[in-house]
Amino acid sequence: MLNGRNILCTGGTGSFGRHFVRRILADYHPNKVIVFSRDELKQSQMEAEFGAPNLRFFLGDIRDKDRLKRVFGQVDYVVHAAALKQVPALEYNPTEAVKTNIDGAMNIVEAAIDTKVEKVIALSSDKAVNPINLYGATKLVMEKLFTAANAYAGHHTIFSCVRYGNVIGSRGSVIPLFQRLKDEGIKEFPVTDKEMTRFWLTLDESVDLVLFALQKSIGGEIFVPKIPSMKIVDIAHTIDPECSIKEIGIRAGEKLHEKLISEDEKNIYLVENSSCIQATEEYNSRDNDSWLTKKQMRRILK
């Protein structure tokens, strides 16, 4: 379905966006792949690295609806990955989080409807489930905006979301922090709580989920991957088996364990091995029946 089509990725110079674009260019034959972001340096670096004749770059901010409408004009599919994501930073800059993650999402919806984009997939987070921080709250609102948008789009545009946990090795993840500490010879790793767990998936798995949603969505769904959990302290010992752990306490807006599905949610689809079922029960990182071992994580990191 992507061959010969025009695909745009907001936040396309981020960790997910770069990997998504790389996969689309390698595995399909799109007419154009468009990167939309506000970082001209990263766009320049990405253009030099990828060097694909059908790759286009547009500077802009999702806060600017007019710019979005201009860029969406000839686009078939939009993957919305642009967001402010750092939990502590957003706790102290709440208005900026709202402007980008909520107002920006509304701009995406209105621009896509006005330009008759065929399908839009938005990236959400496990922090949107029963949120206790502003980032999670803005992602929850974004999900509501996208799923409700189908009622306004008629049959022209389909809106759906994907929701997943921590991406291994992405910017802002704890893994690059631990790797940097190891490289600097620091033996004491800071961990908020020794019992803290998180869901983990690779960049490839996150792209697979988006491609699945692009293919299967009919409007209003939230697709959630079946992925393993791992304790943060075990990740620290995976990266440096000889490190010691310093508990620093949970930061503002952090949970001890994350949920990907709450017990009260509807229209949530759990995806595993290219098939999906409608979710009927809570799914959290503490009671998960799938766990990454240190050996598995070490192999992924290599």
Burial of 183 (0-12, 13-18, 19+ CB in 10 A): exposed
DSSP 72-105: GGG-SEEEE------HHHHHH-HHHHIIIIIIHH
- Residue 98 sits at φ, ψ, to 5 deg, of -65, -45
Catalytic residue positions, numbered: 127
Cβ 161 vs Cβ 128: under 8 Å: no
Q: From 101, 67, 51, select the one nearest 81 (Cα to Cα).
A: 101
Calculated CA dihedral for residues 42, 46, 47, 53, nearest 10 degrees: -140
